[in-house]
Amino acid sequence: MGVAHALPEREDMTDDWKRRDDTGNRDAEGYGTDFGDDFGTVQFGDDAVEPVLSFGDDTGPLPHWTEPATGELPSTEDDTDVWGTFQEPSEPTRRPDHITIGTDPTDERRRASRDVTTDFGLDPSRDITGGVPRGRAPQVRRSGPRGTGGSTGRDMPTAVTTGLILLAVFLGAIMWRPAAVMLIVVAVVALAAVEFFSKVTEKGYRPATFAGLLTCIAAPLVAYWVGDEGLPLVLAFGFLATSIGFLGASSVQSGPMPNVAISTMAMTWIGLMGSFAALILRYSVNGGLAHVGTDTLFMIVIGVIANDIGGLFVGASVGKTPLREWVSPNKTIEGAIGGAIATLVALVVVGSQNGTWNSMGEWIALTIVIAVMAPIGDLVESMFKRNLDVKDFGSLIAGHGGVLDRFDGFLFVLPAAYYLMLVMQPWA
């Protein structure tokens, strides 16, 4: 089979495996290996000579691998911690996989190349947290210098013509029957909701549009047929439908929290607050109070229109002190005062021919409600538009923008006027 070859026996076989230099020659002592001038002689554990490698004149001999482990790092004689300045590299910071809304002190707006907006298939140049495209400061729109009678920013002939047509349609519906007015209320609420959901979707959000629209339309209908006790149920079902809908999303990249919040905001702002018009009209379906609802809603409409006109012209003429400049620099305290005066005058004129609101105390009380809540409603809508970086929510009504732009003040006036009606009972 095979022949086993034995290694030749050598007396110094063990010594032959002692460290040799690169020439194969044994060093002078038989220990250590010379690898050249770059390294010098490297000593090993059993070497008796002093080590050559050192960390300076002050260091002692380094421990070698034949010594038992101590679990401690080598130290210098003066107890200087040579590792004290060493820092482990930190793990790279990872952006959270969700959308944040509002101001972020960590400058979350300047995102990495992988942005959650790209996961949505959105325009990565737009930051949906603040509504303003990255790299561009929000612009403050001024339609004209305050106090100089500058332009109001509207096509006034078109705005006036459109306003008169809308008023004529409303008056015709009032004179016909409350159900006709109710159809106008539902149409206004539905169109305003469509404008809102379309605009926020355009700006990068992903609201529950179907559930939101259905809730906004259902709210005034339920208010008209059932009363205010049905509204909490409508909003609860709307929230449940919206939340459950986002449970079907594939990941958190659907942005459940901001988008559910956006959807719920529309249900409350447009659907719930708009339904108070239906609650007011509901009084006109009761036999003995047939004119209470329509009379009250007519007074509200006239008062809000007068407030807008008075505030517009007085503010453009002498307005100098903005209500909230960062929201709307053209809305001034002087304009608000002018609007309040115009509201009172209009209510006195119309109320003298009204069978329900027919006393000075009632006119003053309703004037206060309209003069306070209408500008607030207008400012709130302007705040949302500035956050989204848009001029209007729509363009359906010529000279006025969208439906939501035209009826924003009404949304805040209606609840306050409804409860004022319940307290004062002008029909009594």
pTM of the model as a whole: 0.65
Task: Please state, rounded to an integer, the average pLDDT across all residues of the chain.
Answer: 75
Domain contains 196: yes
User: Which tens digits make up the pLDDT trace of 361-415?
Assistant: 999 999 999 999 999 999 999 999 999 999 889 888 776 788 999 899 999 999 9
User: Which tens digits make up the pLDDT trace of 9-19?
Assistant: 544 544 544 44
- What confidence tier does 302 reach under pLDDT thresholds 50, 70, 90? very high
User: Which tens digits make up the pLDDT trace of 28-40?
Assistant: 454 445 555 555 5
Handedness of CA 299, 303, 304, 305 (dihedral sign): positive
Q: Which residue has the higher pLDDT, 66 or 278?
A: 278
Q: How many whole angstroms separate alpha carbon 235 and alpha carbon 71?
A: 66
Domain contains 178: yes
Q: Is 313 exposed, middle or buried (0-12, 13-18, 19+ CB in 10 A)?
A: middle
**pLDDT above 80: residue 332:** yes
Domain contains 189: yes
Helix (H, G, I), strand (E, B) or coil at 111: coil
Q: How many whole angstroms separate alpha carbon 6 and alpha carbon 391?
A: 98
Structural domain total, the chain: 1
Q: Is 333 exposed, middle or buried (0-12, 13-18, 19+ CB in 10 A)?
A: middle
Domain contains 33: no
Q: How many whole angstroms separate alpha carbon 114 and alpha carbon 131?
A: 19
**pLDDT above 90: residue 237:** yes
**pLDDT above 60: residue 128:** no
- What confidence tier does 58 reach under pLDDT thresholds 50, 70, 90? low
| Residue type present at position 402 | G
Q: Which residue has the higher pLDDT, 112 or 152?
A: 152
- Beta bridge pairs of residue 33: 42
What is the pLDDT at residue 337?
95
| End-to-end Cα distance, the chain | 127
**pLDDT above 80: residue 234:** yes
Domain contains 78: no
What is the pLDDT at residue 88?
52
Domain contains 125: no
Domain contains 149: no
Domain contains 414: yes
- What confidence tier does 347 reach under pLDDT thresholds 50, 70, 90? very high
**pLDDT above 80: residue 7:** no
What is the pLDDT at residue 153?
57
Domain containing residue 383: 156-424
Closest CA to 200 of 252, 121, 265, 246: 265
